[in-house]
Amino acid sequence: MIERLSLLYPEIVLFLGACLVMVIGLSPKREVRSLCGFASAGSLLIAGLLAINTSAGNTTPLPGLLPYVKAILAGVGLLLVLLLSGVVDRRDEEEIAAGRRAFSAMRSNRAEFHAFFLFSLMGAMLCATADDLIWLFLALELTSLPTYVMVAVSTRGTRAQEAGVKYFFLGALGAGIFLYGFALLYGGTGSTNLAQIARELARQGAAGDINPIAMAGLMLAVVGVSFKIAAVPMHFYTPDVYQGAAAPVSAMLAFVPKTAGFVTILTLVSCAGWSYGFVDGRDVYGAGFALPAELRIALWVIAALTMTVGNVMAVLQTSIKRMLGYSSVAHSGYMLVGVLAGAAAGEESGYSFAQSGVAAVLFYLLVYGVGNLGAFAVLASMERRNPDGELVEADEFGDVRGLCRSSPLAGWTMVLSALSLLGLPPLLGFFGKFGLFSAGIAAGDYALVVILGLNSAIAAFYYLRLVAVSLLDEPQGSTYAPTTILARPLAGAVSALGVIVLIAFAEPLMQAATKAGRVAPMTLGVSPEGVRRAQTTELPEPGTGDRGAPSGAPAPEGEHDGAGH
């Protein structure tokens, strides 16, 4: 038990960091308060380092997720800390510095804001660690609950509050749906333990019929979690919330809950498919696709709709934030192609990044996180004072006109981020999309790949508009000036640099993603006693011994694989 605690070290560090931030953020001394960001960054750094050194778990069908997901969360989280500086209490701090009023702990939000940020990241990390439905639920909610507040307090306008309320209610609806799904999944498989569920579903699949209750639960869970990843049919909040919240918070919304959601979807789907599609060399679900037909069709439709709706709506926007919101929807659709492809083909022979949809999704999460952060960082670093003296961030296309000439750093950040999000070779985004493409083709899902291709072309339209406006137009009529908070353009610059520099490290990153996306092979002992009892060598029984120990000797071929090294 103590050994398994080591899997949680990154989360523990983040928790301690959150505790620290919560206390020092309320200090009346300005110097101490300003340490908040550093404390967050420090704990993220430590968490990231610990995550890289975490050995893979061994309790879920996707044991390798853990180190990779936590590491990218910590990495992009570090950039987000930079970007989030000055979001909640800038005006208060200015007034205090000017001596117009004294510090009031009751009015200050900094401590909570940073602590919530860390809690949210911690929740996302926990999603990767979770090996039980209850854990998974708690982790998902831990990811989302802080973000509701973060959205509402991010700016002073009523828009942020509206966004917060909208986000909260729809989030609660989503949570209700997937919780119901979890409950049904438990009803249909008799366990909340993911490994047990996987084994039970494989057994039912091998016996030819999957319990409809379990299948309904799985689908409800996927639909509910699609709120977190902003996929159709739970995408409606995205543009409003992204626009209402401050740009740095929107950047966070586009990455942290999305990562948590995809990790959850991957975990859930891995319980029902891919490697189990071919149990003992037999094509369980038929048609060569390693997912149950119902789930496959549902995911297919969600993926196709998500891509198309996201892109078509994004084309119509005049606000960059709304456009990025819809494009966030579209990117989720792209990644769902990878989820569908799964680890379908070639697991035995030459299993590689290019054939693994799971790895492609995991890699794309990083690619998207970095690229998207750059775009939002540019918006966050351009601002003007409105008549009330409030600082307003850039939002409309006209606000970034000629940015490359008026402030080259922000402008080029925008250009590079947009081109990377578009997937233009040789930027980082291309490699991400390439992985999804090849995984989709490897899984034989040509129609979906064609839809993906056409959608990339639609996306070109609005991303190019962004590039054209900031690169080609003359700066005129824009009253926006670079922000005084230097950390924001810095975050943007780092992520813009990232989409270039990470190309050189694409290989190790892809390898890591491949390792992370490896599905623990499962063998289903079809013994003379019958197929009643599933057995495995790779998925150990949970600690409680009362559920019946596996019977039969472990199959030898799975011995060396699956632990992810």
The least distance separating other proteins from the CB of residue 139, rounded to whole angstroms, comes to 17
- Candidate residues 51, 72, 78, 111; the one interacting with other proteins per rule CB under 8 A: 111
Name 323's Cβ contacts closer than 8 Å, sequence gap at least 6: 314, 317, 462, 466
Contact criterion met (CB below 8 Å) for 236 and 170:
yes
- Candidate residues 297, 316, 472, 486; the one interacting with other proteins per rule CB under 8 A: 472
Q: What is the DSSP letter of 470?
A: I
Name 347's Cβ contacts closer than 8 Å, sequence gap at least 6: 275, 519, 521
H/E segment holding residue 385: strand 382-385
The least distance separating other proteins from the CB of residue 135, rounded to whole angstroms, comes to 16
Ranges within 492-531 binding other proteins (CB under 8 A): 506-507, 510-511, 514
User: Is the peptide bond prior to 556 cis by the omega test (within 30 degrees of 0)?
Assistant: no
Residue count at the site for other proteins (CB under 8 A)? 60
120 vs 14, 160, 223, 511, 552, CA distance in Å? 10, 19, 21, 27, 43
When the beta carbons of 424 and 493 are compared against other proteins, the nearer one is 424
The least distance separating other proteins from the CB of residue 28, rounded to whole angstroms, comes to 9
Using rule CB under 8 A, residue 549 touches other proteins = no
Give the x/- contact pattern for other proteins in 178-217, rule: CB under 8 A.
---------xxxxx----x---x----------x-xx---
Place of tokens 């789930």: 295
When the beta carbons of 191 and 226 are compared against other proteins, the nearer one is 191
Using rule CB under 8 A, residue 26 touches other proteins = yes
In single-letter form, the type of residue at position 411 comes to: G
Distance between first and last Cα of the chain: 22
When the beta carbons of 233 and 288 are compared against other proteins, the nearer one is 288
Distance between CA atoms of residues 239 and 163, nearest Å: 10
Distance between CA atoms of residues 286 and 330, nearest Å: 30
Length of the chain (residues): 565
The least distance separating other proteins from the CB of residue 268, rounded to whole angstroms, comes to 18
When the beta carbons of 248 and 440 are compared against other proteins, the nearer one is 440
The least distance separating other proteins from the CB of residue 166, rounded to whole angstroms, comes to 22
Using rule CB under 8 A, residue 349 touches other proteins = yes
Contact criterion met (CB below 8 Å) for 551 and 199:
no
Query: Comparing C-alpha atoms, which of 252, 239, 404 is closest to residue 324?
Result: 239
The least distance separating other proteins from the CB of residue 510, rounded to whole angstroms, comes to 4
For 90, the 3-state DSSP assignment is helix
Query: Comparing C-alpha atoms, which of 308, 317, 329, 340 is closest to residue 454?
Result: 308
Q: Among positive and negative, which fits the CA dihedral 279, 285, 287, 288?
A: negative
The least distance separating other proteins from the CB of residue 387, rounded to whole angstroms, comes to 30
For 537, the 3-state DSSP assignment is coil
Using rule CB under 8 A, residue 552 touches other proteins = no
Contact criterion met (CB below 8 Å) for 511 and 353:
yes
Tell me which stretch binds other proteins (CB under 8 A): 257-265, 324-332, 379-387, 417-425: 417-425
For 217, the 3-state DSSP assignment is helix
Structural Rg of the chain based on CA atoms: 23
When the beta carbons of 79 and 210 are compared against other proteins, the nearer one is 210
Using rule CB under 8 A, residue 446 touches other proteins = yes
The least distance separating other proteins from the CB of residue 391, rounded to whole angstroms, comes to 26
- Candidate residues 35, 460, 490, 563; the one interacting with other proteins per rule CB under 8 A: 460
Q: What is the DSSP letter of 521?
A: P
Give the x/- contact pattern for other proteins in 67-106, rule: CB under 8 A.
--------------------------------------xx
Give the x/- contact pattern for other proteins in 297-336, rule: CB under 8 A.
----------------------------------------
Which residues sit at the interface with other proteins, rule CB under 8 A?
A: 1-2, 19, 22-23, 26-27, 105-106, 111, 187-191, 196, 200, 211, 213-214, 345-346, 349-350, 352-355, 419, 424-426, 430-431, 434-435, 437-438, 441-442, 446, 449-450, 453-454, 456-457, 460-461, 464, 468, 471-472, 506-507, 510-511, 514, 547-548
